[in-house]
């Protein structure tokens, strides 16, 4: 069950200030030794609430296996193993539905020395937020829906809502909102240099859908089934972008984030055509990711990177990780909050270790026009000097003029740099065509008169093509325009990957990965300046 932590009604300890966040009420993030042997005081807290804590179903019989990371010279890892455990009502007595926030607060009071091992499982949104979670305004569309196309006003139809509505304007087709477009260029990878070892760009998102740019041999599809633990059904296919993206069979509407991962893949393809794309489908087509599912993937990536370094397995090394989702954390409640107040979280720890293992990590800054820290992007505000690793980079959005910051883009000292993220053109799954229709459709035969019409009716001549205005949710052409910092992040990721190509990517020892990564950052970034 998903809940919103409301600061006005949340149970807090003396002198504790919390901010709004969204979390899963019947799960806890547990890390370190507490995964296998919980403190007696924690067990007492749970018993007092009529609750128990158990591994998810897939680990229930054999328990959670320990991750054994190999050692690599020069690599110092600090992130403990972490997993999401289920809160459940014990059979011995009845109790209210579990509330993870209440459990965490009581553990902090009764067992403060182990409290850091227990965290909320936040709901991560596709580089956005919910109404009132960020600055207090509405969920910024542009990643989602919003605004209406009103046909029949003027000669060619008019986009009425959204004009003059500030950030919401970016949701309106013609003003940066999602809409189909025609693209005439061929897949850039066809003419890109063939490398012995192309840079690998990892994209955890909604997967990659059917598209001419992404035949099976060009894309590594990993982890194909997004978890159903959020209670959101992905229609059509376990991989969101491989289905039609329709949110309801009764209304036929397209889900807000349908095609999100395919769009990101197309951006990386345009900015670094030689890159190998590795897609992990962990997001549903309405843009939700459970934090424990994201952490499990990140730990898998880290374990794989360390194993590849230890075995000198160049083919399994990853180079760039781009993240287009995040959340507002309860421990950073205000716009002037110190971003490093969340630096002790499990999310921060595994991302730091990925940087130490030579992976360049970029994250979208969010779309709520706020300076409140948005994580994981705001981890860029936690200096990594002395960690021996590559720093996470947070990316805000600029408009097509590449000068002005997009009005929806989050800002603040924790935003490292900016890249184009408004009215971006990229790939979308060709199977996605939902219930909206063109405002005007004319059958080709109805344009004929006289002998021409007679010839068609007799079968002596072909009927001309039908005519119509644009169907705004028909992406069978394979391309569209969209806006959001979800798309600024892969722009930078592709630029970093292209810098790696320029330097050469065949050597993959840790020292080379770190030096090459720092060179890429220096050549591509202009900290706190517009791109």
How far is Cα 363 from Cα 417, in angstroms, rounded to an integer? 11
What's the confidence (pLDDT) of residue 143? 35
Write phi, then psi, for 461 (nearest 5 degrees): -150, 150
Tokens of 454: 């007679």
Q: What is the dihedral of CA 205, 208, 214, 217, to 10 degrees?
A: 90
What's the confidence (pLDDT) of residue 501? 97
Q: Are strands 360-364 and 320-323 parallel, antiparallel or unpaired?
A: parallel
What's the confidence (pLDDT) of residue 215? 77
Show the domains of the chain with their CATH numbers. 2-125 (no CATH), 180-430+476-524 (3.40.50.200), 442-470 (no CATH)
Q: How many whole angstroms from its chain centre is CA 179?
A: 20
Q: Are strands 200-205 and 179-180 parallel, antiparallel or unpaired?
A: unpaired
What's the confidence (pLDDT) of residue 74? 84
Query: Which residues in the chain show pLDDT less than 70?
Result: 91-94, 128-165, 216-238, 381-387, 526-531
What's the confidence (pLDDT) of residue 220? 58
What's the confidence (pLDDT) of residue 155? 36
- Specify the residue for token string 């996470």: 392
What's the confidence (pLDDT) of residue 53? 95
How far is Cα 460 from Cα 457, in angstroms, rounded to an integer? 8
Q: Find out whether 221 and 207 touch, Cβ atoms under 8 Å.
A: yes
Instruction: Residue 82: name the closest of 334, 290, 250, 328 by CA.
Output: 290
Q: Find out whether 336 and 378 touch, Cβ atoms under 8 Å.
A: no
Give, in degrees to the nearest 5, the angle at Cα 286 between 281 and 289. Answer: 50
Burial 95-111 (b: 16+ CB within 10 A, else e): eeebbbbbbbbbbbeeb
Looking at 49-124, list the stretches that DSSP marks H as alpha helix, in order from N- to C-terminal side.
100-110
What's the confidence (pLDDT) of residue 226? 52
The pTM score is 0.89
pLDDT tens, 415-455? 999 999 999 999 999 988 877 787 888 898 888 899 999 99
What's the confidence (pLDDT) of residue 164? 54
What's the confidence (pLDDT) of residue 331? 95
């Amino acid at each position: 069950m998903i809940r919103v932590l409301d600061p006005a009604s949340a149970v807090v300890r003396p002198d504790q200030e919390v901010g709004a966040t969204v979390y899963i009420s019947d799960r806890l993030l547990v890390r370190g030794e507490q995964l296998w042997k919980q403190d007696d005081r924690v067990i007492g807290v749970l018993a007092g609430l009529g609750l128990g804590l158990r591994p998810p179903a897939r680990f229930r019989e054999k328990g959670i296996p320990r991750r054994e990371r190999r050692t690599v010279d020069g690599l110092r890892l600090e992130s403990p193993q972490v997993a999401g455990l289920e809160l459940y009502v014990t059979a011995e007595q009845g109790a209210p539905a579990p509330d993870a926030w209440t459990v965490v607060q009581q553990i902090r009071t009764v067992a403060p020395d182990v409290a850091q091992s227990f965290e909320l499982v936040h709901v991560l949104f596709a580089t956005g937020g919910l109404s009132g979670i960020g600055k207090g305004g509405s969920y910024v569309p542009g990643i989602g829906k919003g605004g209406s196309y009103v046909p029949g006003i003027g000669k060619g139809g008019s986009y009425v809502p959204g004009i003059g509505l500030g950030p919401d304007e970016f949701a309106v087709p013609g003003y940066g909102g999602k809409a189909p477009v025609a693209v005439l260029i061929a897949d850039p990878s066809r003419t890109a240099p063939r490398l012995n070892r192309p840079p690998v760009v990892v994209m955890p998102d909604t997967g990659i859908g059917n598209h001419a740019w992404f035949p099976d041999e060009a894309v590594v599809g990993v982890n194909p089934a997004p978890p159903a633990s959020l209670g959101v059904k992905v229609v059509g296919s376990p991989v969101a972008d491989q289905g039609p993206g329709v949110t309801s069979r009764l209304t036929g509407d397209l889900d807000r984030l349908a095609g999100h991962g395919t769009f990101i893949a197309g951006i990386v393809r345009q900015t670094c055509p030689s890159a190998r794309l590795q897609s992990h489908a962990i997001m549903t087509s309405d843009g939700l990711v459970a934090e424990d599912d994201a952490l499990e993937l990140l730990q898998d990536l880290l374990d794989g990177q360390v194993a590849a370094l230890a075995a000198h397995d160049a083919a399994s090394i990853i180079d760039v990780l781009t993240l287009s989702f995040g959340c507002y954390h309860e421990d950073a409640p205000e716009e002037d909050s110190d971003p490093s107040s969340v630096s002790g979280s499990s999310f921060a720890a595994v991302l730091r270790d990925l940087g130490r293992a030579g992976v360049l990590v970029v994250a979208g800054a969010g779309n709520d026009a706020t300076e409140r820290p948005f994580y994981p992007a705001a981890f860029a505000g936690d200096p990594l000097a002395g960690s021996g690793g590559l720093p996470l980079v947070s990316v805000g959005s600029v408009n097509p003029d590449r000068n002005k910051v997009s009005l929806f883009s989050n800002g603040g000292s924790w935003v490292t740099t900016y890249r184009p993220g408004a009215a971006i053109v990229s790939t979308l799954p060709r199977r996605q065509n939902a219930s909206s229709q063109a405002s005007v459709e004319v059958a080709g035969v109805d344009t004929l008169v006289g002998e021409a019409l007679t010839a068609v009716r007799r079968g002596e001549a072909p009927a001309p093509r039908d005519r119509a205005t644009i169907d705004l949710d028909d992406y069978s052409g394979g391309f569209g325009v969209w806006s959001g910092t979800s798309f600024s992040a892969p722009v930078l990721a592709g630029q970093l990957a292209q810098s790696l190509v320029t330097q050469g990517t065949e050597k993959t020892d840790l020292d080379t990965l770190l030096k090459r990564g720092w060179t890429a950052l220096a050549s591509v970034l202009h900290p706190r300046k517009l791109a």
